[in-house]
Amino acid sequence: MAKTYKDVKIPEELFFNIKNFIEKYSELGFRSVSEFVNSSARNEMERIEDRKRNE
């Protein structure tokens, strides 16, 4: 089954900050702003869930 996608809007300044970040740190392997945002969202959800489990 093909993946489906949804759009998420972020401020233009944040978009360009992320774009510059992934270009500056290309060794991290992010190929796009979307890839970075997906990874960041997953990591943040894991961090919050870990914190909630330890409360």
pLDDT of residue 27: 98
Q: What is the pLDDT of residues 16-45, one digit of tens each?
A: 999 999 999 999 999 999 999 999 999 999
Average pLDDT, the chain: 96
pTM: 0.86
- In this predicted structure, the answer to whether residue 1 has a pLDDT above a threshold of 90 is no
Q: How far apart are the first and last CA of the chain?
A: 39
Q: How far apart are CA 6 and CA 18, in angstroms?
A: 19
Q: How confident is the model at residue 6 (pLDDT cuts 50, 70, 90)?
A: very high
- Residue 48: the pLDDT is 98
